[in-house]
Amino acid sequence: MQQHTAKDIRYGQKAVPQIATGAGGVALADLDRVANFLEQAFVEIDTLLDPNTRNPHLHMILHLLRGHIEGRLVSASSMVSAAGVPYATAVRKLADIQANGLVEQRPRTKTGKSFSLHPSALLLTQFQQLADRIDRIASTTLGESPQTRAKQDYFFGGSYVPGQSTIPPLAVRQRPLKLAGGLRILVHVDPTFMVMDNLKRQFDQIVGTNIHQRAFSIDRLREEALRNADRKKSSYDLIAVDLPWIGEFIDKGVIRPLPEVMDIDRLDPNDFHTAGWRAAHWGGVPCGVPSQTTPELMFFRKDWFAQAGLNPPATIEDVITAARHFHDPQNGNYGIAWNAARGTALGHTFMMTCAAFGQPIIDLPPRAGGFDTDILARGGFRPMFDTPQARAAAEYLLELLQYSPPDILSMSWYERVRPYAAGKVAMAYGYTLLAPYFELDETCSAHGNTGYLPHPHGRDGGAIAPVGGYAFCIPSNLAEERVPEAVEALVTFTSPGAQKLYVQNGSRTSPRYSVAADPEVRRLSPIFDAVDQMSWRDELQFWPRPPIPQISDIVQICGHELHDMLRGIATPADALARVQARTEDLMRHTKH
């Protein structure tokens, strides 16, 4: 979400720093590890024990699985070679495997005479079960580590809870996508989308075509999406849309409402976190599919708070008290880090801080659990920056300056998390998608020592976690012949199997309940359980940044005027008066 740099990233050019992966944080970790174990074990058995009979079925299955895991095409001839038995015998054994529904055969040419082989969904499910059993057998017979014991405990408990079944690995599409030039995607440059970069070969194989991805910083992403809408034909099959842009992009004809192009039930809407799914609607109509739901939370150092005898920060007063306690600039330690960079970064921060004081940025009517967002498409709203709550939010940010790092006024999305990860900051506001910077790096001081909370609230507010993230959308000007295949790609990339794969490769966002409930996913990070609990308590909310058509301009107005306040150029009253006047003028002169 960097807005101060503009990057045009294609596959092969890294958009964000490489994130170290911890134990178990690798794609298809269990399958890969168990397949490798079995291969090596049978090599030893086949070569050291004599007489011995090879198991061609298992050798071919392992070869097929390794190809799927590594993104390599597997042919019938390579399967036969892997069997390790005479050719005619291997051919018969391969036919046995296919007859039992363990292999998917996909044409590689229009004639269908050449084809590739892939593990079927049945094989992936069965082998996933085998991997779990081998893990348990190995741990009980050869000894177990604390991590393994915890895993086993979870298996015998949580995995049998309804809704917590293990999601099998993503299988290849039986019919490859037929898109001239491959699948073209426009995304944001953040850790979750960059996971797709690392998985390019695997996803190419899953969808059956080359994937071409371009990634931009947040401001340039919006500019490119708007520029693309002016083209005669879209340059992209899918575009990632920041949730607050939904209203603007529908209003300007950038994206198509989904019911025009697909059966919404295919997406299993009830599986999505409610706030993320509703945020992708406009006028009651779904306009995109959440590809990541990443609430902004309060990260805090559990070990520091425990040592100091302080409770986790639940209120604004708690934040100030803790920040004051931990602030020690002479020793390079600071109380809190947050988005205070001019423009987009600070604009978002101020809106969410207003929400913490119970104030939406427009005059939305209150309702149980928050404010009524179902009426956003009606328009006619008045900005609400001239209220006591907005004034309290501005003064809170001014007070935070006293306990922030010296470069706070240029600190944005990634910059606020880096000092927190390095152990220089006690608390940080941060999206869950940034948690990999310390969760997956065991050298970070914050690794294993971080607690996750909704935003601490002010006197008139309540505990909420403002929802961020992106939805995959279909461009309005996409050539009609490409739309059906783009829809299939949309379903694949937002499926539970794909979302689980992102998490296994380092993502800390999940828009689906089923993925967050998967035992293997929950073992990777406490963040999934924390976000799930917030969702059930109705703390995940998107009204702090309502997706009205003027939202991007309002963000910029807030981000510039409040930055002048933080620099001491304007008082809170003057800054808010200018924000109010400018936003009133903006909304008066726009359609909605």
Question: DSSP letters along 96-120, please?
Answer: HHHHTT-EEEEESSTTSSSEEEEE-
Place of tokens 């090879």: 54
Model pLDDT, residue 30: 62
pLDDT mean across residues, the chain? 86
Alpha-carbon distance of 533 to 206, in angstroms, equals 33
Q: What is the pLDDT averaged over residues 51-78?
A: 79
Rounded to 10 deg, the angle between the 76-83 and 56-70 helix axes is: 130
Q: Which pair of tokens denotes residue 381?
A: 């709203």
Model pLDDT, residue 59: 82
Percent of the chain with pLDDT over 90: 61
| Same fold yes or no, 29-107+115-160 and 295-467+540-588 | no
Query: What are residue 187's DSSP bridge partners?
Result: 215
What CATH number belongs to 295-467+540-588? 3.40.190.10
Confidence of residue 57 (pLDDT cuts 50, 70, 90): confident
Alpha-carbon distance of 136 to 130, in angstroms, equals 10
The pair phi, psi for residue 118, each rounded to 5°, is: -140, 150
pLDDT value at 112 more than 70: no
Q: Cβ(24)–Cβ(162) under 8 Å?
A: no
- Of 192-206, 217-231, 565-579, the poorest mean pLDDT is in 192-206
DSSP classification of residue 331: G
Q: Cβ(294)–Cβ(509) under 8 Å?
A: yes
CA 247 to chain centre: 21
Q: What is the pLDDT averaged over residues 488-513?
A: 93
pLDDT value at 539 more than 80: yes
* CA-wise closest residue to 412 among 224, 218, 139: 218
Q: What is the pLDDT averaged over residues 337-346?
A: 96
Model pLDDT, residue 171: 84
Domain 29-107+115-160 matching CATH 1.10.10.10: the answer reads yes
Q: Which pair of tokens denotes residue 520?
A: 């293997």
Model pLDDT, residue 158: 37
The one-letter amino acid code at 544 reads P
Q: What is the pLDDT of residues 428-462, one digit of tens each?
A: 999 999 999 999 999 999 999 999 999 999 988 99
Rounded to 10 deg, the angle between the 200-207 and 191-198 helix axes is: 70
Helix (H, G, I), strand (E, B) or coil at 77: helix
Alpha-carbon distance of 295 to 274, in angstroms, equals 12
Q: What is the pLDDT averaged over residues 176-186?
A: 94
Q: What is the pLDDT of residues 241-290, one digit of tens each?
A: 999 999 999 999 999 999 999 999 999 999 999 999 999 999 999 999 99
Query: What are residue 334's DSSP bridge partners?
Result: 425
Contacts of 167 (CB under 8 A, 6+ apart): 496, 497, 500, 514, 515, 518, 521
Q: Which pair of tokens denotes residue 431?
A: 């999206």
Confidence of residue 147 (pLDDT cuts 50, 70, 90): very low
Question: Which architecture, in CATH terms, is 183-293+468-536?
Answer: 3-Layer(aba) Sandwich (3.40)
The one-letter amino acid code at 281 reads H
Model pLDDT, residue 11: 29
Q: Residue 401 belongs to what H/E stretch? A: helix 388-401
Alpha-carbon distance of 430 to 434, in angstroms, equals 7
Q: What is the pLDDT averaged over residues 526-536?
A: 91
Q: Which pair of tokens denotes residue 237?
A: 């099959």
The one-letter amino acid code at 559 reads G
Confidence of residue 47 (pLDDT cuts 50, 70, 90): low
Q: What is the pLDDT averaged over residues 45-60?
A: 74
Q: What is the pLDDT averaged over residues 159-171?
A: 63
Q: Which pair of tokens denotes residue 91?
A: 């051919």
Q: What is the pLDDT averaged over residues 137-166?
A: 49
Alpha-carbon distance of 115 to 113, in angstroms, equals 7
Q: Cβ(542)–Cβ(278) under 8 Å?
A: yes
Q: Cβ(582)–Cβ(557) under 8 Å?
A: yes
Domain residue ranges in the chain? 29-107+115-160, 183-293+468-536, 295-467+540-588
Model pLDDT, residue 515: 93
Percent of the chain with pLDDT over 70: 86
* CA-wise closest residue to 414 among 433, 440, 397, 439: 433
CA 468 to chain centre: 10
Q: What is the pLDDT of residues 15-24, one digit of tens each?
A: 333 433 333 3
Place of tokens 């999305």: 413
Alpha-carbon distance of 199 to 181, in angstroms, equals 19
DSSP classification of residue 239: E
